[in-house]
């Protein structure tokens, strides 16, 4: 049974690699923070089933086009089984060229707790990291003007 489980996990991750969406598991947040050390970036959590996420993703897609130096990292709070739909949505929102991850833990509550103990799963959830790795979180859709103001202040 353990061998079967390892085989399935391997196939799943191989499929994710082809889809260019990385599995977000315990420790992934720390990996992202290490990769982005010293750089301001936006970490945005979303879902295919989130009613309010399209507005924020479209605004983020427009910002990336306007400010190519903006580091945007997207994490879908869905499952690896939904990767094809997530890829299609990312393409439609204009964010397919950005770093993308998908929850890949059987207990997403653990991931949310690791990300932010005060986050209960509401989406969209956006974290703004300045160049010193200080972050500020926000739940819900932010007006495009507010998103752009952060970019103008932090991205050179």
Q: State pLDDT tens for residues 112-146.
A: 999 999 999 999 999 999 999 999 999 999 999 99
Question: How far is residue 37 from each of residues 25, 41, 42, 87, 133, measured CA to CA in Å?
Answer: 20, 10, 13, 27, 7
- Mean per-residue pLDDT over the chain, rounded: 89
User: Above 70 in pLDDT, residue 62?
Assistant: yes
Evaluate whether 125 touches 137 at the Cβ level (below 8 Å). yes
pLDDT at 7: 40
pTM, whole model, 2 decimals? 0.86
Strands (E), the chain: 21-24, 41-46, 72-76, 99-103, 125-129, 135-139
Q: What is the number of structural domains in the chain?
A: 1
Q: How far apart are CA 30 and CA 51, in angstroms?
A: 28
Pick 10 or 70 by higher pLDDT.
Answer: 70
CATH code for position 147:
3.40.30.10
The 8-class DSSP code of residue 68 comes to T
Specify whether the backbone of 133 is left (phi greater than 0), alpha (psi in -120 to 50) or beta.
left
Torsion of CA 121, 100, 50, 105, to 10 degrees: -40
pLDDT band at 155 (very low <50, low <70, confident <90, very high): very high
pLDDT at 15: 41
- Residue 7 domain boundaries: 2-154
What would the mean pLDDT of 75-95 be, rounded to a whole number?
Answer: 96
pLDDT band at 73 (very low <50, low <70, confident <90, very high): very high
Of all residues in the chain, what percent carry a pLDDT higher than 90? 87
């Amino acid at each position: 049974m353990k061998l079967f489980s390892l085989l399935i996990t391997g196939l799943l991750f191989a499929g994710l690699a082809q889809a260019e969406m990385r599995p977000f598991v315990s420790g992934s947040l720390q990996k992202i923070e290490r990769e982005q050390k010293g750089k301001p970036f936006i970490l945005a959590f979303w879902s295919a089933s989130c009613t309010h996420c399209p507005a924020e993703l479209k605004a983020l897609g427009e910002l990336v086009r306007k400010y190519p130096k903006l580091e945007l990292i997207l994490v879908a709070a869905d499952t690896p089984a939904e990767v094809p739909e997530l890829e299609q949505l990312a393409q439609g929102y204009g964010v397919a060229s950005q770093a993308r991850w998908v929850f890949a833990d059987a207990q997403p509550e653990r991931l949310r707790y690791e990300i932010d103990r005060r986050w209960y799963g509401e989406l969209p959830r956006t974290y703004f990291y300045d160049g010193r790795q200080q972050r500020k979180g926000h739940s819900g859709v932010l007006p495009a003007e507010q998103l752009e103001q952060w970019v103008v202040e932090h991205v050179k």
